[in-house]
Amino acid sequence: MTTPEGLENLETLLVDVADGVALITVNRPDVRNALSEAVLADLRTALTALRGDDTVGAVVFTGSGEKAFIAGADIAEVRTYDLTTGLTGEMQRTMDLIESFEKPTIAAINGFALGGGCELAMACDLRIASDNARFGLPEANLAVLPGAGGTQRMTRLIGVGRTLDLILTGRLVGAAQAEQYGLVTEVVEPDALLPRARELAMTIMAKGPLAVRLAKLVVRAGFDAAQPTGQVIELLAQTVLYGTADKAEGTEAFLGKRTAEFQGH
């Protein structure tokens, strides 16, 4: 593994790249990897750097240690938040950056994914959980709500009723129930979590990179649009792909029974 230049000395994150997969580890195990303002700033720095790094084709997020993926916001900081903090929306802005990231993103969820941790996972394209993972949006216990996209992303993933159940009661659900709800896409043994996340990232990276990027864009942009509008977006994206060298390479490789060598154009 190597650490990209400029990301070696991040205060709260470890960033390692191997075989084109960047692993971002929130590294605050003493506080269950809570999302402080420093973590959010480091995440934005890392994503900005990885966006422009052509050697990176996918990003995996995880948490340090065995107890927690990310156990929410840093409560010591939340205690000081005021109206100005809320309007600034640093955490929501960071989750939006993850959701709109052009390269595939995977959350490898070990242990607790609560509050902001659950929101970060939901901002990723795919979510894989170890069987000891637990999920929840318990912010109402602090007289606040999931304000980093949680009320919206969870509703779109699992529906209004289940989302309100989790937010209003503050209860936690285990990995199996999260998979049943559609909150995670796969559950594995803890030792298999990161290998499976890397395997999945490599599988995606073997596809046409422009097709992957546009598929992410079309699915997300079309979800909130009327179906005819979404299909227009889909049609235009497909039209763009029909004119790429990657499409020519993909079809020729299939007919020639060989592995495609995509160039991303």
Mean pLDDT, rounded, for 140-152: 93
Check whether 242 has a pLDDT greater than 90.
Answer: yes
Q: Looking at 77, 119, 249, 261, which residue is catalytic? A: 119
Mean pLDDT, rounded, for 6-23: 93
Supply the pLDDT for residue 81: 82
Supply the pLDDT for residue 85: 81
The pLDDT tens digits of the residues spanning 189-224 come to 999 999 999 999 999 999 999 999 999 999 999 998
Mean pLDDT, rounded, for 29-56: 94
CATH code, 13-205: 3.90.226.10
Cα-based angle 36, 59, 148 (whole degrees, multiple of 5): 40
Q: How remote is the C-alpha of 55 from its chain's centroid?
A: 19
Buried (b) or exposed (e) across 158-192, using 16+ Cβ within 10 A?
A: beeebbeebbeeeebbebeebbebebbbebbeeee
**In a 3-state reduction of DSSP, which class is residue 230?**
helix
- What token pair was written down for 231? 């299909």
Q: Give the confidence band of 66 by pLDDT, cuts at 50, 70, 90.
A: confident
Supply the pLDDT for residue 217: 95
The pLDDT tens digits of the residues spanning 166-195 come to 999 999 999 999 999 999 999 999 999 999
* 62 backbone dihedrals φ, ψ, rounded to 5°: -150, 180
Supply the pLDDT for residue 131: 96
Check whether 1 has a pLDDT greater than 80.
Answer: no
Mean pLDDT of the chain: 94
CATH class name, domain 209-255: mainly alpha
Does 90 qualify as catalytic in the annotation? no
Supply the pLDDT for residue 233: 95
Supply the pLDDT for residue 21: 97
- Report how far residue 265's alpha carbon sits from residue 181's, in angstroms, rounded to the nearest whole number: 37
Supply the pLDDT for residue 24: 98
The secondary structure of 9-49, three-state, reads CCCCEEEEEECCEEEEEECCHHHCCCECHHHHHHHHHHHHH
The pLDDT tens digits of the residues spanning 77-136 come to 878 888 888 788 899 999 999 999 999 999 999 999 999 999 999 999 999 999 999 999
Q: Looking at 37, 77, 139, 199, which residue is catalytic? A: 139
Q: Give the confidence band of 76 by pLDDT, cuts at 50, 70, 90.
A: confident
**Distances in Å between the alpha carbon of 217 and those of 35, 36, 125, 162?**
27, 29, 11, 26
Q: Which residue has the higher pLDDT, 75 or 40?
A: 40
- What is the pTM for the complete model shown? 0.94
Domain positions in the chain: 13-205, 209-255
- Report how far residue 30's alpha carbon sits from residue 68's, in angstroms, rounded to the nearest whole number: 10
Does 186 qualify as catalytic in the annotation? no
Q: Give the confidence band of 162 by pLDDT, cuts at 50, 70, 90.
A: very high
Domain 13-205 shares a fold with domain 209-255: no
Check whether 265 has a pLDDT greater than 90.
Answer: no
Q: Is the dihedral of CA 14, 117, 179, 66 positive or negative?
A: positive
Supply the pLDDT for residue 9: 87
217 in Cβ contact with 237 (< 8 Å): yes
Check whether 42 has a pLDDT greater than 90.
Answer: yes
